[in-house]
Structure formats: C-alpha cells, structure tokens
Amino acid sequence: MRDLNPECYLFRQVKMPVLRSLSRVAQQVLQAPACGCQPITVAVRNISFSPRQVTSDASFHSVSFSETDHPKVLITGGLGQLGVGLAKLLRRRFGNNNVILSDIRKPPSHVFHSGPFIYSDILDYKNLREIVVNNRITWLVHYSALLSAVGEANVALARAVNITGLHNILDIAAEHGLRLFVPSTIGAFGPTSPRNPTPDLCVQRPRTIYGVSKVHAELMGEYYHHRYGLDFRCLRYPGIISADSQPGGGTTDYAVQIFHDAVKTGKFECNLRSDTRLPMMYIEDCLRATLEVMEAPADTLSMRTYNINAMSFTPAELAGEVQRQLPDLQVTYSLDQVRQDIADSWPMNPTMRTRRDWGWKHEYDLPELVQTMLAFIGSEARVAQAS
C-alpha cells in the first residue's frame, strides 16, 4: 500500500538514522571521564530532497539516458491504441526489451507476446517506483487517463486517476531524473479560447473534468520543470484517426465512423454540422510526433507544452473526399447538440511552434488519410466476408 504520509516516510528513512547517531555520540560524551579530551565531532552529510522527500543520492537511482545506448521506456496505460502503437514504434527503434508496456488490465495474447509487459497501477506509488528502479527506466510515457465521456460519468474516479495518478508520476520522474511525456488534448481549451487560430499560449477554461485535468497536467509539468529540473514534454493531441480502432462515441469519432459505414453500408449519418471544422491527425503522424518531441534536444524546446496538428477539415470536406473514392456514398446529417457544443468549444486550427522548434512535419493530408483508411478497412471487410 502506498505510504500516505511522506513526512513519516522521511522521518523513518532519513531522520531516524541521524538521530540515533547523535544519541550514541551524546551517550559517549556523558560517559567519558572529566579530562581534557578533544571534543568529539560528528560528520553529518547534507541531504537534498525530491518532491517526495527522498534523498537525492540514493544508491538505487536509475541510470541516466546519457549513460546507455538506448533509453529504457515505461508506458503507463499502455493497452490503449496509442500505447500499443507507440510501443511498436519505440521497439523498432530502441530494441524490443527496452520498451515496457504497463496497465492494470490483462493484455491480449498478441500484445503480451510482442514484448515486455508488466502490471502497474499509477495510484500505487510504491509499486510504480519499484518498477522504475528495478527496470532502470529513463523515459516515462504517461498515457493512463480517464477520457471525457467516462470522466463525466464518474468525476471522483477521473480526479483520482487523472490528477492523483499524475502527481505520483511527476514525483517519481523528478526523483529519478526521467524524461517524462504526458499527452494533453485540444479539450484543454474551452469556449473562451481563440479558435482560429488557437495559439500555444492562450486562455484555457475547459468545461469537462478531462479537460480540466489536462490543463492541470500541463501546468504541473511546467512547474516541476522549473522547480526541480524535470524534463517534462507535452503535446496537445487533436482528433486521432486510426483504422485499427472502432468509434467510441467521442466528438471526433465521426471521422472514423464514416469509413466503416462507407465500406459496409454505403450510408453515413453525421452527428455534427457539415461546416464544423476540427483539427485531426492520422495515428502514424501522432506516434511519430511523440517520438520526435521525446528525442528533440532540450535546448531546441522553447516551451514544454505544444499544440500539434496535421490537418483541419469539416464533415462536408471529409465526405467529399471519401465520395471521390466511393461515389455512391450517401451522407446525411442529424445534429447531436451535446457533441456539437463540445466541438464548438474546441480549436479549429491550432498554431504550431513545433515546426520551428524541432522541425515537425506531418505526412498524411486529407487525400492520403482517406486512401489509407479505405484501403485498410476495405481489406478487413474482404477478409471477414471470405471467412
């Protein structure tokens, strides 16, 4: 169980040995004969503290990235699509055994056998710290979070996972000198944020617990960077489009649903207005951007939290591009006001310092996105029919 009182932990681990040493010296002085002996001195080393009040020179500190050929990476919340995809990319680059997926769920067989996997609960501070120490972790990618729909249904759980869990991650990363990546989202902006364009730095007043927790993560990460020197890095993800995932009812999921419906039924009903412009990115670009910001030299980063984007389009523009490939696709619109209100509070076109600071450039524009999605989903449909 995680020690809920860091001060008690400090007293046991650091102060008690020092006090015992001083006590023994005092007893020796009191018992010594009254003579002109030299005074007894005690050398007490200076002790510096991490946010969790743990000695900074503890012998179990993990090796820094500069001392290894490749980083040792831990991905929390790793069974989501982004975690699994990033693990594949990092393992190709750094070696299979240098990237550890972790989650509190049981992994499917193909994930379990693809590389190292370990159980990790981000709310269990001691267990998480043990994993970092025992595996000599140097990079930590923190994907564990409750997303907007689930978070609104259970605010208390979202607060625990997205905020308390984040604090555990920050403290461990600062204590062990890790390079830490925490994704944020366009949901960190709100209805009072400028929408077109949306600067990296502007007012942020989100109205969901997910958005609030991501603003909190951005600010805490930057605070730890300035206060403790933590190498914190963050990208605000736009809507992520992938053929591997099924739509889950999110605001940007129409941009995935249209491809499934186009291939299976030839009919698609969109729940947003036809002119609703939102930023989007194909998953391969998203994963590559994450790797690039982690590898970027620290002196090239002018800030710690960046907007990231590839393209911005409306449902009508997406439908038109799909109809170039499938002319018989029928598209209708049935407004979902809740989702529309959320979409209207999000950026239409974020600005990006990433292009200037570390040379970010996306590869998938709308035509390439449509061709890739239709090819993948179409091949899946043909396999299903054949079986």
Based on the number of CB atoms within 10 Å of its own CB, is 200 exposed (0-12), middle (13-18) or buried (19 or more)? middle
CB neighbour burial string for 166-197, b if at least 16 within 10 angstroms, e if fewer: bbbbbbbbbbbbbbbbbbbbbbbbbeebebee
What pLDDT, on a 0 to 100 scale, did the predictor assign at position 217? 98
pTM, whole model, 2 decimals? 0.80
Of 210, 224, 306, 364, the active-site residue reads 210
Please give the Cα distance from 189 to 218 (Å, whole number): 12
pLDDT per residue as tens, the chain (387 positions): 444 444 444 344 444 444 455 455 445 444 444 444 343 333 333 333 456 654 444 333 334 444 457 999 999 999 988 999 999 999 999 999 999 999 999 999 999 999 999 999 999 999 999 999 999 999 999 999 988 778 888 999 999 999 999 999 999 999 999 999 999 999 999 999 999 999 999 999 998 899 999 999 999 999 999 999 999 999 999 999 998 877 766 788 899 999 999 999 999 999 999 999 999 999 999 999 999 999 999 999 999 999 999 999 999 999 999 999 999 999 999 999 888 988 998 999 999 899 999 999 999 999 999 999 999 998 776 656 655
CB neighbour burial string for 133-162, b if at least 16 within 10 angstroms, e if fewer: bebbbbbbbbbbbbbbeebeeeeeebbebb
What pLDDT, on a 0 to 100 scale, did the predictor assign at position 244? 81
What pLDDT, on a 0 to 100 scale, did the predictor assign at position 25? 44
Which residues, including other chains, have CB under 8 Å from residue 98's CB and lie 6 or more apart?
70, 71, 72, 73, 90, 91
Cβ(255)–Cβ(241) below 8 Å: yes
Which residues, including other chains, have CB under 8 Å from residue 30's CB and lie 6 or more apart?
none
What pLDDT, on a 0 to 100 scale, did the predictor assign at position 96? 96
Fold held by 145-386: Rossmann fold (3.40.50)
* Strand partners for 313: 278
Which residues, including other chains, have CB under 8 Å from residue 243's CB and lie 6 or more apart?
256, 259, 372, 373, 376, 377, 380
The neighbour count for residue 381, using CB atoms within 10 Å, is: 13
Helix-strand-coil percent breakdown of the chain, rounded to 5?
A: 45, 15, 40
Question: Coil, strand, or helix at residue 132?
Answer: helix
* Strand partners for 141: 75, 181
Domain definitions of the chain by residue range: 145-386
C-alpha torsion 367→370→373→378, nearest 10: -120
Please give the Cα distance from 191 to 156 (Å, whole number): 24
Please give the Cα distance from 202 to 205 (Å, whole number): 10
DSSP state of 48: -
Structure tokens at 243: 């053929």
Can you say how many angstroms the Cα of residue 184 is from the centroid of all Cα atoms in its chain? 7
DSSP state of 11: I
Structure tokens at 138: 């140097």
Closest-CA residue to 73 (of 118, 138, 16): 138
Could you confirm whether 210 is annotated as catalytic?
A: yes
Please give the Cα distance from 56 to 35 (Å, whole number): 41
What pLDDT, on a 0 to 100 scale, did the predictor assign at position 67? 42
- Torsion angles phi and psi, residue 307, rounded to 5: -70, 150
Structure tokens at 338: 């809740």
* Strand partners for 278: 313
Cβ(190)–Cβ(211) below 8 Å: yes
Rounded to 5°, angle at Cα 303 from 180 and 361: 85
